[in-house]
Amino acid sequence: MTALGIAEITLESRDPAVLASFYADVFGLSELTRKHDRIWLRVGERCRLGIWSPGPKEHRDRGGRHVHFAFSVGPTDLEALAERLRSRGLEVEGPVEHDGGDRSLYVEDPEGNVVEAWDFFEAADGARTGTDALAGANNGA
């Protein structure tokens, strides 16, 4: 068995509606479903972002040393995204150019989660060879 990609990411929020609005407004995600204290947003064709209210852990999970996630974006989208984020009063790091020519920007969402927008799979080596380009590379490490 080989995993085919990321199916979902789930974040915790004191106010799921506010955080869902942030991701819809800033990253253009659309709502899939809303039930009680859980909201699911569409991320591309095969992934969803869950925003849940705090509660007991379901699977003994916890954060790590450098917890973040990245959205794949086109290279021409980074500047417009950085401008949109800054116009909302958010502190943005980047776009930062990595070895190989790909670029990222980083922002914290209203709950303090670090979100990266990365053009790796649309520019540089990632556009040609996908994740194989990351083998042995220092991209993001």
Averaged pLDDT in 10-residue chunks for the chain of 141 residues: 77 93 95 90 90 75 66 87 94 88 90 88 74 62 41
pLDDT at residue 99, as a whole number: 81
Q: Supply the CATH classification number for the domain 7-53.
A: 3.30.720.120
pLDDT at residue 28, rounded to an integer:
94
Q: What is the pLDDT of residue 139?
A: 47
C-beta separation of 9 from 49 below 8 A = yes
- Which residues in 97-115 are b (16+ Cβ under 10 Å) and which e? ebebebbbbbbebeeebeb
In CATH terms, 69-135 corresponds, of 3.10.180.10, 3.40.50.300, 3.10.450.50, 3.30.70.3340, to 3.10.180.10
Angle (nearest 5°) at CA 11 between 1 and 91: 120
Q: What is the pTM of this model?
A: 0.77
> Can you give the pLDDT at residue 134?
72
Q: What distance in Å separates the CA atoms of residue 133 and residue 139, rounded to the nearest whole number?
A: 9
Question: Where are the domain boundaries for CATH 3.10.180.10 in the chain?
Answer: 69-135
What letter does residue 20 receive in the DSSP assignment?
A: H
Looking at residue 88, the DSSP 8-state letter turns out to be T
pLDDT of residue 129: 74
Do 94 and 82 contact (CB within 8 A), yes or no? Answer: yes
Q: What secondary structure letter does DSSP report for 102? A: -
